[in-house]
């Protein structure tokens, strides 16, 4: 109608210009965006449903792996030599990728030394409470005195024989009964081959050597000690007062564990090597003072024909009374020889041992394998008998004390 009205009002001979008709889109902008989004979702859903992709769309990184060239291969790291130490307290610390270590703290001087523990896989399994590979049989061991456990071979009484008597070092016991005697026990061995070898080779055979269950191969070193006619003991890690800040190492006997768990841990320690005449506490001031947890341990060790050495560091230790109740060979260390590791103090401690031996008939000293300790003990032992005192293995002192 608008166009007809325009034609009537247009002068004759002229035409009315026609308006251009606008093209209109079938969708508004919002509707078009919605259509495109719907198409995208349909396409994505179809891809997810019908594409065989087990990773479910997770990102994938492809890395080309090539074998290392000889120049890139690195040799295995050499095991670190264990520093010398006197074991009074210890704290264990671990760093991923590095061997576990025990920080040994001398109770008198406060000196700290880091010592690697365990034989790699054996220590890892011990810390996790898993069985480790059984150590190889040592030379000179009576197979009748061994019993199989889940960790390896452990001592047992058989055919009327006990490990205490079979593995005691030779000594002139008749002579020892007539004169004052001194026994020296050097402990903390088996960790650090160099210091252990020094103790084995430089100390007189009458000195008793005590080995911890740790180290790369304590059995090999213990075997060497016995070959040099040393009597040996096994040191069993026990809970100190400030555990776990001070930690004796894997499989420590704890006051918080039940008897079965502590006995299982004891079996692990007993299986690390063979040929020892008895056991001794390694740390353990809290444990050895608790009758309820100590009693099963002492009873089990006595049943297996072993003696017991109390290192003398815990005044409230119940080990003596428990051992007496089991008719178990027992001794308690009287003096820590190198509590102050200087030549003068070590000589003074050895002189005190002589005085005790003259007064009581027997005396027991305990030391660590410090170079200065080995040197002073070695020199002292050469002239001891000239002063009317006999140096004897610990088992001889235990038997002498029991008979007196």
Encode pLDDT of 272-294 as tens digits: 999 999 999 999 999 999 999 99
- The better pLDDT of the pair 311, 107 is held by 311
Predicted confidence band at 18 (pLDDT cuts at 50, 70, 90)? low
Per-residue pLDDT at 296? 98
Per-residue pLDDT at 43? 65
Compute the distance between CA of residue 137 and CA of residue 220 in angstroms, rounded to an integer.
10
**Position 349 pLDDT exceeds 50:** yes
What is the number of residues in the chain? 404
- The better pLDDT of the pair 38, 366 is held by 366
Prediction pTM value:
0.71
349: three-class secondary structure by DSSP: helix
Tell me if the bond preceding 244 is cis, omega within 30° of 0: yes
Encode pLDDT of 183-198 as tens digits: 999 999 999 999 999 9
Per-residue pLDDT at 354? 98
CATH superfamily ID and name for 159-403 = Glycoside hydrolase/deacetylase (3.20.20.370)
Name which of 94, 149, 399 is nearest 263 in CA terms. 149
- The better pLDDT of the pair 379, 15 is held by 379
Name which of 122, 121, 124 is nearest 94 in CA terms. 124
Q: Kindly report the number of other CB atoms within 10 A of residue 317's CB atom.
A: 21
Compute the distance between CA of residue 282 and CA of residue 286 in angstroms, rounded to an integer.
12
Q: Rounded to the nearest 5°, which phi and psi values hold at 371?
A: -55, -40
Predicted confidence band at 37 (pLDDT cuts at 50, 70, 90)? confident
Per-residue pLDDT at 15? 52
Strands 153-155 vs 146-148: parallel, antiparallel or unpaired: antiparallel
**Position 156 pLDDT exceeds 90:** yes
- The better pLDDT of the pair 81, 44 is held by 44
Q: Judge contact between 243 and 286, C-beta under 8 A.
A: yes
Encode pLDDT of 126-153 as tens digits: 555 455 555 555 668 999 999 999 999 9
Q: Kindly report the number of other CB atoms within 10 A of residue 369's CB atom.
A: 28
- Neighbouring residues of 44: CB distance < 8 A, sequence distance ≥ 6: none
């Amino acid at each position: 109608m608008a166009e007809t009205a325009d034609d009537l009002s247009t002068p004759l001979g002229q035409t009315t210009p026609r308006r251009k008709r606008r093209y209109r889109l079938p969708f508004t902008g919002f509707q078009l965006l919605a259509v495109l989004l719907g198409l995208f979702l349909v396409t994505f859903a179809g891809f997810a449903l019908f594409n065989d992709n087990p990773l479910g769309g997770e990102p994938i990184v492809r890395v080309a792996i090539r074998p290392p060239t000889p120049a890139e291969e690195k040799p295995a790291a050499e095991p670190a030599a264990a520093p010398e130490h006197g074991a009074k307290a210890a704290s264990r610390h671990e760093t991923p990728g590095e061997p576990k270590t025990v920080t040994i703290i001398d109770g008198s001087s406060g000196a700290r030394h880091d010592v690697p523990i365990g034989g790699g896989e054996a220590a890892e399994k011990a810390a996790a409470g898993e069985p480790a590979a059984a150590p190889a049989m040592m030379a000179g061991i009576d197979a009748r005195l061994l019993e199989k456990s889940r960790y390896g071979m452990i001592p047992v009484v058989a055919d009327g024989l006990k490990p205490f008597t079979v593995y005691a070092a030779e000594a002139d016991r008749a002579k020892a009964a007539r004169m004052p005697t001194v026994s020296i026990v050097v402990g903390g061995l088996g960790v650090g081959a160099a210091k252990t070898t020094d103790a084995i080779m430089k100390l007189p055979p009458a000195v008793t050597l005590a080995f911890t269950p740790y180290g790369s191969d304590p059995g090999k070193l213990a075997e060497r000690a016995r070959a040099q006619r040393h009597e040996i003991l096994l040191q069993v890690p026990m809970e100190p007062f400030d555990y776990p800040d001070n930690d004796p190492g894997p499989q420590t006997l704890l006051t918080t564990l039940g008897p079965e768990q502590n006995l299982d841990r004891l079996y692990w320690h007993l299986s690390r090597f063979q040929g020892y005449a008895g056991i001794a506490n390694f740390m353990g001031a809290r444990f050895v003072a608790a009758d309820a947890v100590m009693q099963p341990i002492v009873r089990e060790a006595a049943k297996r024909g072993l003696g017991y050495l109390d290192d003398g560091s815990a005044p409230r230790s119940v080990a003596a009374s428990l051992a007496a109740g089991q008719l178990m060979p027992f001794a308690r260390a009287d003096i820590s020889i190198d509590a102050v590791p200087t030549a003068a103090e070590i000589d003074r401690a050895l002189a005190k041992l002589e005085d005790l031996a003259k007064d009581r008939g027997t005396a027991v000293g305990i030391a660590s394998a410090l170079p200065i300790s080995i040197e002073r003990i070695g020199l002292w032992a050469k002239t001891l008998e000239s002063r009317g005192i006999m140096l004897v293995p610990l088992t001889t002192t235990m038997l002498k004390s029991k008979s007196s």
